[in-house]
Amino acid sequence: MIPPGFIQELLSRVDIVDVVGRHVELKRGGANLMGLCPFHAEKSPSFSVSPSKQFYHCFGCGANGNALRFLVEHQGLSFVEAVRDLAQGAGLTVPEEQVSAQERERRDTLRQRRLSIHEALTRAAQYFAAQLKAQPRAVQYLKQRGLTGQVAARFGLGYAPAGWHNLASVFARYDDPLLEEAGLVRQREAEPAPEITQAVTADTQSSPAGERGRYDWFRNRVMFPIRAASGEVIGFGGRVLDDSKPKYINSPETPVFSKGRELYGLFEARQALRDKGYALVVEGYMDVVALAQNGFANAVATLGTACTAEHVQKLFRFTDQVVFSFDGDTAGRRAAARALEAALPHATDLRSVRFLFLPAEHDPDSYVRTLGAAAFEQQVAQARPLSEQLLNQAAEGQTLNSAEDRARMLTRAQPLWEALPEGALRRQLLPELARRAQLEAADLLALWGTAKQKKEAQAQRSAEIAIATGTIPGLRPPQIARFSERTRPSLRRASRKAPAASADLAVRLLLRHSSWWQHLVPEDHALLHRLGGEHGIVVAWLEQQLMELGTQTWSALDQLMTGQPWQERARQWVNHGSADEVQSVEDLQRVLHRLWCAELREQVAALIAEGSTERMRLDQIAALNGRIRSHLQAEQGLASSTTADPGRG
């Protein structure tokens, strides 16, 4: 975990003009600098960078943020990677949490191992690319699929020759454990696995049955390097040149590669995502390359797995519109259902998620090659919106002609609807679902609310047990340690208990609007950590998510906290206010002033209770009372500038 204080210091040490200027040509326009927005296609500059505010804003697409957010959104870096990138340029060392020498050594070893794996994968990619040029059969296969040498070079396509030990000529030590850890070789313990003999039948004589030892994992396959968003090779996909099985194999999970988090073609598609304005998610490597060949360079693919929330979150770093393309068969509908569930928590009113179902006889590769780019563009234009997909998915297999069918439809629809963020889309879907179920919207909302209350009561008891025993599921050891330092004293001292209404409101506002966390100063962060009890647990957890994943919607946070004993309590805080109340960051600042007043009054009471008349103690009391008056005045000033207080009622 990176201390918030360091983030503030880092941002004060860097100039956003320099950071953005490395990627965008900026020209002076009054007090600010202007340029073409890197987040959407435009011909006239609408992208403004403010040197005084250290902030960027696009008047065209609404993109905005500080230097860290720019690197996360534009470069596709994680929050931690962006912090390290900025810190390196500013000559700062990112502080690590207090860990033992053994833990520090373990982390250094892991970091070095990851670098070594990247180097091995890069060398293998270079070898495979060179082998492609020397293999006419592989080149002919790609030409038959309609690919040119230019697009093959762009994606770094290669060829892994037939043979069990080709990589022995690439690496000095074929027995280096690093090669197995990188997923390039495997260890044979007994008879070769079925996929080995099926994939390379011509090679069986060179590796007798039952022979033990290492062998190349990829053989006689066209190779697709998988790159991280930063461009580093992190793994491979390999496809056979005929119809033998398995058709595709991937790198195994490694310290640098996880199929559930990565998207093939994302690095190559970054600019096209901004030019086209949307991401096209398909299911295969060849789909991505073929679509890029035919003018759809904004295509990416999951790696043989269902779409995950991490996939969706990564895509929304680059674009606000995502189109999922699936085959029209049963498997395609199942994949669409998983993609819908992954996308719902991120489907804010300013984002678009659509679903494209091609005819059963086509995949994107065959469709665009057979019918052309214009026909595929028309299919994209007619893609089904998320709202329609949700309604259809809930009603799948039901005629809705009976009360039983309608009840089943609502049972399926409830978790989908609840996963949506608060907003206009969610509100519009409720009466539509009620209409299909032949209910009034108010009756449906009451029905679903009763079911939630039962769950909340059960979860509340679990949360109380967790607080009483000091167990805090969901926080990693460093966060648990910090929670113990900041919060556990609050649990022990009965005199230090934050006002419940103010604490509830503060946490509610932050969960609903997690971006407001960055508007607070480190002292306010520390105050929130000192709230104690469940409030302190949730604040520590929220800070961890923001540091690692960036700003999240409430629906996304709700999904992330699944399984936590305090989840239902957090939901109670968030749902306490009316959904249509108007809120701003000033509301959060006002409630923080109340919390400061409460804490300072406790300190005054403790000093008075000591009964000391020493001048130093009296000066301390006077200073604390002065701070209380300052906070009261600030709160009153904020109250006069807003028309409604979300904490009242």
Given a cut of 70, is residue 262 above it in pLDDT? yes
Q: Which of 344-348, 464-468, 550-554 has the lowest mean pLDDT?
A: 464-468
Instruction: Give 355's strand partners.
Output: 324, 384
Q: Taking residues 417-440, report their average pLDDT.
A: 92
Looking at 2.40.300, 1.10.860, 2.30.29, 1.10.287, the CATH number of the domain 470-641 comes to: 1.10.860
- Environment class of 208 (CB within 10 Å of its CB; exposed 0-12, middle 13-18, buried 19+): exposed
Segment 10-35, tens digit of pLDDT: 888 888 998 999 889 999 888 889 99
Given a cut of 50, is residue 268 above it in pLDDT? yes
Q: Which of 78-87, 189-198, 292-301, 603-612 has the lowest mean pLDDT?
A: 189-198
pLDDT at 493: 35
Given a cut of 70, is residue 146 above it in pLDDT? yes
pLDDT at 616: 79
Given a cut of 80, is residue 188 above it in pLDDT? no
Task: Given CATH 3.40.50.300, say whether it is the number of domain 266-394.
Answer: no
For β-strands 299-301 and 279-282, DSSP reports them as: parallel
Given a cut of 60, is residue 527 above it in pLDDT? yes
Q: Which CATH architecture has domain 4-90?
A: Alpha-Beta Complex (3.90)
In this predicted model, which residue has the larger pLDDT, 602 or 152?
Answer: 152
Alpha carbons 208 and 274: distance in angstroms, whole number: 52
Given a cut of 70, is residue 578 above it in pLDDT? no
Given a cut of 90, is residue 66 above it in pLDDT? no
- Cβ within 8 Å of residue 243, ≥6 positions away: none
Task: Given CATH 3.90.980.10, say whether it is the number of domain 111-250.
Answer: yes
Segment 280-293, tens digit of pLDDT: 999 889 999 999 99
Q: Which of 305-309, 537-541, 635-639 has the lowest mean pLDDT?
A: 635-639
Alpha carbons 542 and 553: distance in angstroms, whole number: 12
In which band, very low, low, confident or very high, does the pLDDT at 100 lie, cut at 50, 70 and 90?
low
Instruction: Give 236's strand partners.
Output: 225
Secondary structure percentages of the chain, helix, strand, coil, to 5: 55, 10, 35
Q: Which of 116-125, 328-337, 454-463, 623-632 has the lowest mean pLDDT?
A: 454-463
Given a cut of 80, is residue 354 above it in pLDDT? yes
For β-strands 221-227 and 233-240, DSSP reports them as: antiparallel
> How many Å is the Cα radius of gyration of the chain?
28
In this predicted model, which residue has the larger pLDDT, 544 or 169?
Answer: 169
Measured CA angle at 352 (ends 350, 357), to 5 deg: 175
pLDDT at 547: 66
- Environment class of 156 (CB within 10 Å of its CB; exposed 0-12, middle 13-18, buried 19+): buried
Alpha carbons 631 and 624: distance in angstroms, whole number: 11
- Cβ within 8 Å of residue 240, ≥6 positions away: 199, 220, 221, 246, 247
pLDDT at 196: 46
Q: Which of 223-237, 337-351, 419-433, 526-540 has the lowest mean pLDDT?
A: 526-540
Q: Please tell me whether the peptide bond between 489 and the residue prior to it is cis, using omega within 30 degrees of 0.
A: no
Packing angle, helices 386-395 and 424-436, rounded to 10: 30
pLDDT at 603: 85
With a threshold of 0.85, does the pTM exceed it?
no
pLDDT at 550: 67
pLDDT at 299: 96
Q: Taking residues 148-157, report their average pLDDT.
A: 94
Given a cut of 90, is residue 374 above it in pLDDT? yes
pLDDT at 478: 44
In which band, very low, low, confident or very high, does the pLDDT at 563 lie, cut at 50, 70 and 90?
confident
Segment 487-497, tens digit of pLDDT: 333 333 333 44
In this predicted model, which residue has the larger pLDDT, 525 or 485?
Answer: 525
In this predicted model, which residue has the larger pLDDT, 643 or 104?
Answer: 104
Structure tokens at 460: 């509340």
Return the domain boundaries, the chain: 4-90, 111-250, 266-394, 470-641
Q: Say which DSSP state 82 is in.
A: H
Q: Taking residues 88-106, report their average pLDDT.
A: 72
- Cβ within 8 Å of residue 110, ≥6 positions away: 255
In this predicted model, which residue has the larger pLDDT, 17 or 455?
Answer: 17
Torsion angle defined by CA atoms of residues 277, 282, 288 and 291, in that order, rounded to the nearest 10 degrees: -60
Given a cut of 90, is residue 385 above it in pLDDT? yes
Q: Tokens 């009603």 correspond to what residue?
A: 395
pLDDT at 548: 62
Structure tokens at 187: 């260890």
Nearest to 530 by CA among 497, 570, 574: 497
- Environment class of 602 (CB within 10 Å of its CB; exposed 0-12, middle 13-18, buried 19+): middle
3-state DSSP assignment of residue 566: coil
- HSE (CB half, 13 Å, CA atoms) of 611? 0
Segment 219-236, tens digit of pLDDT: 999 999 999 887 889 999
pLDDT at 304: 78
Nearest to 331 by CA among 311, 360, 289: 360
pLDDT at 140: 93
Nearest to 565 by CA among 599, 537, 531, 530: 537
Q: What share of the chain has pLDDT > 70, as a percent?
A: 82
Structure tokens at 569: 């309590």
Q: Taking residues 81-92, report their average pLDDT.
A: 85
Given a cut of 80, is residue 450 above it in pLDDT? no
Given a cut of 90, is residue 238 above it in pLDDT? yes
Instruction: Give 299's strand partners.
Output: 280
Q: Which of 111-120, 172-181, 187-196 has the lowest mean pLDDT?
A: 187-196
pLDDT at 227: 93
Given a cut of 90, is residue 565 above it in pLDDT? no
Q: If you average pLDDT over every residue of the chain, what do you get?
A: 81
In which band, very low, low, confident or very high, does the pLDDT at 209 lie, cut at 50, 70 and 90?
very low
3-state DSSP assignment of residue 550: coil
- Cβ within 8 Å of residue 105, ≥6 positions away: none
Structure tokens at 516: 């407001």
Greatest Cα pair distance in the chain: 96
